[in-house]
């Protein structure tokens, strides 16, 4: 059975190579380019899929937005920091801001299932990634949304 499958593959490959009539390229070169292009597209697709899997839903509190803070991207961080699960958020600041930010993780039922705090310092027209480290017991698969606010 295996010999038939292998033979069939070689026949298809041979016919494909012979069927290429491009005079500037040999069939092998054409086939190689085609395979290379498909492998590259496949790898790019995997990268895009991984990036999409890592993105998370963030909601900023109105008070934080009024302080001049916004964000462009938020994602799960694959590295554990001191055995804690982290998220990284790229914040932008239009105004100077110093204080403590608190990120709360909520499940689909709206129940808080984790929280993390971090001290930050932004200048006017500043931007930086901020990482929030959650307890290792928090199951990230249960998190529906992370809500971030400034701590009073």
Rounded (5°) CA angle 87-89-92: 165
Q: Give me the pLDDT at residue 55, please.
A: 82
Q: Find tokens 């302080």 and name the residue.
A: 67
Domain 58-150 carries which CATH code?
A: 2.60.40
Q: Give me the pLDDT at residue 58, please.
A: 95
Q: Give me the pLDDT at residue 47, please.
A: 46
Mean pLDDT for each consecutive 10-residue tract of the chain (152 residues)? 54 52 56 59 48 78 96 83 84 96 97 97 97 92 96 82
pTM over 0.75: no
> What is the token pair recorded at 78?
């694959």
Domain ranges of the chain: 2-54, 58-150
Name the phi and psi angles at 49, rounded to 5: -65, -40
Helix (H) or strand (E) run with residue 13 in it: helix 2-19
Between 27-54 and 2-19, two packed helices, what is the crossing angle to 10 degrees?
Answer: 110
Q: Give the integer Cα–Cα distance in Å for 17 and 27.
A: 5
Q: Give me the pLDDT at residue 117, please.
A: 96
Q: Give me the pLDDT at residue 49, please.
A: 44
């Amino acid at each position: 059975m295996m010999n038939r499958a292998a033979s069939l593959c070689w026949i298809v490959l041979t016919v494909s190579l012979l069927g290429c009539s491009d005079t500037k390229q040999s069939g092998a070169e054409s086939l190689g380019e085609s395979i290379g292009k498909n492998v590259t597209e496949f790898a790019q697709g995997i990268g895009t899929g991984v990036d999409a899997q890592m993105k998370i839903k963030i909601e900023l509190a109105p008070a934080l937005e009024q302080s001049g803070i916004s964000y462009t991207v938020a994602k799960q961080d694959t590295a554990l920091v001191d055995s804690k699960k982290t998220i990284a958020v790229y914040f932008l600041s239009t105004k100077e801001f110093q204080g403590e930010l608190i990120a709360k993780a909520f499940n689909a039922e709206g129940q808080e299932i984790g929280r993390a705090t971090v001290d930050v310092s932004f200048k006017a027209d500043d931007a930086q990634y901020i990482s929030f480290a959650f307890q290792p017991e928090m199951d990230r698969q249960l998190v529906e949304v992370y809500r971030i606010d400034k701590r009073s």
